[in-house]
Chain A
Amino acid sequence: MKRLRQYAWLVGLLLVSVLLVGCETGHKFVKKTAFKDTDKMVLVFAGPVDESWASNVGNFSAYEEPDPDIVLTIKETILSPDKTQVTLIFADPVNTGEAHIVSATNILSEGRDLGAAVLTVKKLYIGVLMTIFIGAALINNFVFTKYLGLCVFFGTSQKRGTAVGMGVVFTIVMVFAAVMAWGLYQFVLKPYQLTFLNVVVFIGLVSLSVQGVDTILRKVNPMLFKAFGVYLVLVIANCIAIAVPLILADNEYSGWESFALALGAGLGFLIALFLMACVRERLELAQVPPSFRGLPIAFVTAGLFALAFLGFSGLSIY
């Protein structure tokens, strides 16, 4: 229990640091920048700014980061009553998926000139990571939406204990393998134009991760190993294990994004396994027609789950 709390603290610290880094704006007087609605941006300052400066639209200019030559038209600006927030209203809807660069000429605050500012306005990185994470776990659930990892899925979903064991082991191996795959892809395969070796390298990494987790678990926690060790071998036969590195290579994800993807994939697999196990335990006691017993009815159940998970497809939190 104490160890768990220590781990939770560490994870919390990590998240907070990512959040802080993501909040960096580029000028010490500007505290925060954010998108608002579909056509506004909000700049939050550390102190009050002069109304004469804030109401002049000409003091601000904005463009999308990849298109520095196309300047967006700002219709008007609104200053908040406490004079610390300026809202820029644009003539056309703003593409919030793209990072925007906003330049403000010399900021006038209480008569003092605080210099020009070049600010980046983009969605919080942690939001991007959460989208990938929830995407991999629910919206694009690897079992119910992408139909991967089915052999292992049907093989280990008969009892709840087995299911949870498989899910946990898989998540751990997946995270290790994905981060290593990202590293190898970015620093070895891509620069030397060896991307055709993707498949071989990734499956090798998965095997290596399995071996590594096996060894570590044996030494660190033999009891855990006795409970979960047998599932380690099955990870290699799991399509998801090779799909995740392939996806992060194809989409050119960054390190944190790969981590989020792997974690989401593992968690999604765990959720799928657990749900399936709950149902299958009940099915054991039901009166299933002889031809359907075993796998066929399990498939039909999975089909129903897949339909249910379709409901997640419009989910968008950020």
Chain B
Amino acid sequence: MKEMVKITFALTLSCVIAASAMGLTFTVTAKAKKHNHHMSVQNAMMDLLSFGEDHPVPSDLAFHNVYRYIVEDGDKKFLGYMVPVEKAGKEVYEMVMVDLEGKFVEKLEVPISEGQAEEAHDRASALEKVLPPNQFFTYADASAIATAGGQRLGYVLPGKFPGFRTFIHVLVALDPQFELLGLEIMEHEEDAGLGAEIEQEYFKNQFKGKSFETLKGLEVVKKPMPQEYKKYLEKSKWVEGMFTEKQISEIRKQYKDSDIHAITAATISSKAVTDGVKNIAKKFAYRIGKLDGVLQEQDIHAAF
């Protein structure tokens, strides 16, 4: 009996020590992890909007995050957009509720700062305080709207869709007319050398510059990619004098509305990315149109 007690005590003590060691590491590293994630997303967004050496960042560049929620009241469903609004020189968040057809229902002020709003947990607790208890909300997605000089520069949308293996996480950048500015693959688990080639420039950069109309009907073709087009797409490998200005604009015009060339032996991954990007762009364009209509009609001064 005494043995059992000794054993149990020793085991419990070791568990407690182990748990506290891990808990300590967790709290210390959690902050660094969030910061790194934030920085990588920021860098990807800047890349997508083509800010770099030859295109300097405007001093008043700002990203405004709009969070979309689905709110259920009994058997009625609404969309709730958490929108940053300018009120008396400050930025606060307001929850703008619209019904499924896009008509305004009501707006509520949400007591949360911009930094806090980036945390799903903080957003959820703030919303719980503001919404009546019989309404259930689920988080849908977030969109970032980039502005500078009082104008919208573009939209950066995170998205996720099933690929060949598991999910593929992407970041899609659209300009104010919903033309595709760029695509960045954030996370995937595709096969190395096959599906993983979606990360390569010669696949990703095909999407750059496609107009919204082309995007809506974009398909994948299993044709081999012309060498010249491939060299043009691999921007990072350009050398001096490789292309003249005339050649660049000619190639761009020629392939502007063409379909996406699939990666050899990775058609499913290529199709998954194309369809995924198509859906993200189409759905966002539809929703931001409705949201802008509501904001204008209700005279809400959004920060974008």
Q: In their complex, do chains A and B touch, with some C-beta pair under 8 Å?
A: yes
Residues of A within 8 A of B (CB): 66-70, 95, 97, 196-197, 200, 251, 313-314
**Once bound together, how far apart are the Cα atoms of A66 and B138, in whole Å?**
10
Q: Which residue of chain B lies nearest to A195 when distances are taken between CB atoms in the complex?
A: B26
Q: How would residues 56 to 85 of chain B score, 1 for a CB under 8 Å from any chain A CB and 0 otherwise?
A: 000000000000001000000101000000
- Is A196 touching B70 in the complex (CB atoms < 8 A)? no
Assuming the contacts A196-B23, A197-B19, A197-B22, asked whether A69 and B162 have C-beta atoms less than 8 A apart, the reply is no
- Is B22 touching A200 in the complex (CB atoms < 8 A)? yes
**Once bound together, how far apart are the Cα atoms of A72 and B279, in whole Å?**
12
Residues of B within 8 A of A (CB): 18-19, 22-23, 25-26, 70, 77, 79, 100-102, 140, 162, 166, 191, 268, 279, 283, 286-287, 290
Cβ–Cβ < 8 Å partners of B22 in chain A: 196-197, 200
- Is B26 touching A69 in the complex (CB atoms < 8 A)? no
Cβ–Cβ < 8 Å partners of A314 in chain B: 268
Cβ–Cβ < 8 Å partners of A67 in chain B: 283
- Is B18 touching A70 in the complex (CB atoms < 8 A)? no
- Is A68 touching B19 in the complex (CB atoms < 8 A)? no
Q: Chain A nearest CB: distance from B25 CB in Å? A: 8
Cβ–Cβ < 8 Å partners of B70 in chain A: 66, 68
Assuming the contacts A196-B23, A196-B26, A251-B166, asked whether A69 and B102 have C-beta atoms less than 8 A apart, the reply is yes
User: Which secondary structure characterizes the binding site on chain B?
Assistant: helix
Having A66-B140, A69-B79, A314-B268, one finds 20 other A-B pairs with CB under 8 Å, namely A66-B70, A67-B283, A68-B70, A68-B77, A68-B79, A68-B100, A69-B100, A69-B101, A69-B102, A69-B290, A70-B283, A70-B286, A95-B279, A196-B22, A196-B25, A196-B26, A197-B19, A197-B22, A200-B18, A313-B191
Q: Which residue of chain B lies nearest to A93 when distances are taken between CB atoms in the complex?
A: B275
Q: Which residue of chain A lies nearest to B290 when distances are taken between CB atoms in the complex?
A: A69
Cβ–Cβ < 8 Å partners of B279 in chain A: 95
**Once bound together, how far apart are the Cα atoms of A197 and B23, in whole Å?**
8
Q: Chain B nearest CB: distance from A256 CB in Å? A: 19
Q: Which residue of chain A lies nearest to B26 when distances are taken between CB atoms in the complex?
A: A196
What number of A-B contacts does a CB cutoff of 8 Å give? 30
24 of the cross-chain contacts (CB-CB < 8 Å) are A66-B140, A67-B283, A68-B70, A68-B77, A68-B79, A68-B100, A69-B79, A69-B100, A69-B101, A69-B287, A70-B283, A70-B286, A70-B287, A95-B279, A196-B22, A196-B23, A196-B25, A196-B26, A197-B19, A197-B22, A200-B19, A251-B166, A313-B191, A314-B268
Q: Which residue of chain B lies nearest to A67 when distances are taken between CB atoms in the complex?
A: B283
**Once bound together, how far apart are the Cα atoms of A9 and B70, in whole Å?**
43
Q: Chain A nearest CB: distance from B254 CB in Å? A: 28
Q: Which residue of chain B lies nearest to A68 when distances are taken between CB atoms in the complex?
A: B77
Cβ–Cβ < 8 Å partners of A70 in chain B: 283, 286-287
Q: Chain A nearest CB: distance from B22 CB in Å? A: 6
Q: Chain B nearest CB: distance from A196 CB in Å? A: 4
- Is A97 touching B162 in the complex (CB atoms < 8 A)? yes
Cβ–Cβ < 8 Å partners of B102 in chain A: 69
Cβ–Cβ < 8 Å partners of B166 in chain A: 251
Q: Which 10 A-B pairs have the closest CB atoms?
A: A196-B26, A69-B100, A68-B77, A69-B79, A68-B100, A196-B22, A70-B283, A97-B162, A70-B286, A197-B22
Q: Chain A nearest CB: distance from B67 CB in Å? A: 15
Q: Which residue of chain A lies nearest to B121 when distances are taken between CB atoms in the complex?
A: A193
**Once bound together, how far apart are the Cα atoms of A68 and B286, in whole Å?**
13
**Once bound together, how far apart are the Cα atoms of A95 and B271, in whole Å?**
13
**Once bound together, how far apart are the Cα atoms of A67 and B25, in whole Å?**
39
Q: Which residue of chain A lies nearest to B217 when distances are taken between CB atoms in the complex?
A: A92
Q: Chain A nearest CB: distance from B178 CB in Å? A: 16
**Once bound together, how far apart are the Cα atoms of A197 and B19, in whole Å?**
8
Cβ–Cβ < 8 Å partners of B287 in chain A: 69-70
Cβ–Cβ < 8 Å partners of A68 in chain B: 70, 77, 79, 100
**Once bound together, how far apart are the Cα atoms of A66 and B26, in whole Å?**
33
Q: Chain A nearest CB: distance from B32 CB in Å? A: 14
Q: Which residue of chain A lies nearest to B99 when distances are taken between CB atoms in the complex?
A: A69
Q: Which residue of chain B lies nearest to A63 when distances are taken between CB atoms in the complex?
A: B100
Q: Chain B nearest CB: distance from A105 CB in Å? A: 16
Q: Which residue of chain A lies nearest to B162 when distances are taken between CB atoms in the complex?
A: A97
**Once bound together, how far apart are the Cα atoms of A314 and B265, in whole Å?**
11
Q: Chain B nearest CB: distance from A309 CB in Å? A: 13
Q: Chain A nearest CB: distance from B266 CB in Å? A: 11
Q: Chain B nearest CB: distance from A5 CB in Å? A: 39
Q: Chain A nearest CB: distance from B193 CB in Å? A: 12
**Once bound together, how far apart are the Cα atoms of A155 and B102, in whole Å?**
63
**Once bound together, how far apart are the Cα atoms of A313 and B266, in whole Å?**
12
Q: From A69, A196, A197, name the one whose CB has the most chain B CB atoms within 10 angstroms.
A: A69
Q: Chain B nearest CB: distance from A141 CB in Å? A: 14
Q: Chain B nearest CB: distance from A99 CB in Å? A: 14
Cβ–Cβ < 8 Å partners of A251 in chain B: 166
Cβ–Cβ < 8 Å partners of B283 in chain A: 67, 70
**Once bound together, how far apart are the Cα atoms of A313 and B77, in whole Å?**
40
